[in-house]
């Protein structure tokens, strides 16, 4: 593992069970994701039904994973996230919006590791610093087992 990957991993908490997550809303999202994945490493995007998690939608982001070149595009940004960020990033690429390498590195780590993570961090976005926030990163994959989308649950800005 590279030094950069080691640095990212040292910030993240592995999630093996729902009680590993101290935030109830994110715990609920993890349990939903677990129920959808079944015996697979991760569920696919079509497995996720927005009407089943309607109370969580304001705090969810869906991020498309593109390969060659590796880029991340915001497919959906929950209304609570938009309000706090002061911008709707839907349809935009991460590299168009922010030079925050920590966000990019965490997304890349999740794509490579194909596993969930939880982190509490200070958010620096669009030249604004926000209070600490909690993030649950959840991979969504294709039939070949590649991560093609990331679902983020974010709470407590």
Q: What span, in angstroms and rounded, lies between the C-alpha atoms of 70 and 61?
A: 18
Whole-number Cα distances in Å, 139 to 26, 46, 73, 106, 147: 14, 13, 14, 12, 6
- Count Cβ atoms below 10 Å from residue 30 Cβ, excluding itself: 22
List the domain boundaries for the chain. 3-155
- Residue-wise pLDDT for 38-92, tens only, equals 999 999 999 999 999 999 999 999 999 999 999 999 999 999 989 877 789 999 9
Predicted confidence (pLDDT) at residue 140 exceeds the cutoff of 60 = yes
- CATH architecture designation of domain 3-155: 2-Layer Sandwich (3.30)
Can you give the pTM of this predicted structure?
Answer: 0.87
Predicted confidence (pLDDT) at residue 147 exceeds the cutoff of 60 = yes
- Residue-wise pLDDT for 2-47, tens only, equals 545 555 556 788 888 898 899 999 999 999 999 999 999 999 999 9
């Amino acid at each position: 593992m590279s030094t950069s990957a080691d640095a990212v991993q040292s910030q993240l908490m592995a999630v093996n069970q729902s009680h590993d997550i101290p935030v109830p809303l994110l715990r609920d999202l993890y349990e939903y994701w677990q129920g959808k994945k079944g015996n697979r490493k991760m569920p696919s995007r079509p497995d996720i039904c927005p009407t089943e998690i309607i109370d969580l939608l304001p705090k969810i982001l869906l991020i498309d994973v593109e390969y060659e070149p590796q880029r991340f595009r915001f497919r959906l940004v929950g209304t609570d996230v938009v309000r706090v960020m002061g911008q709707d990033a839907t349809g935009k690429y991460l590299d168009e919006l922010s030079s925050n390498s920590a966000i990019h590195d965490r997304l890349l780590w999740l794509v490579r590791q194909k596993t969930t993570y939880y982190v509490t961090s200070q958010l620096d976005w669009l030249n604004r610093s926000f209070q600490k926030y909690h993030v649950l990163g959840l991979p969504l994959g294709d039939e070949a087992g590649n991560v093609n989308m990331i679902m983020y649950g974010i709470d407590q800005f």
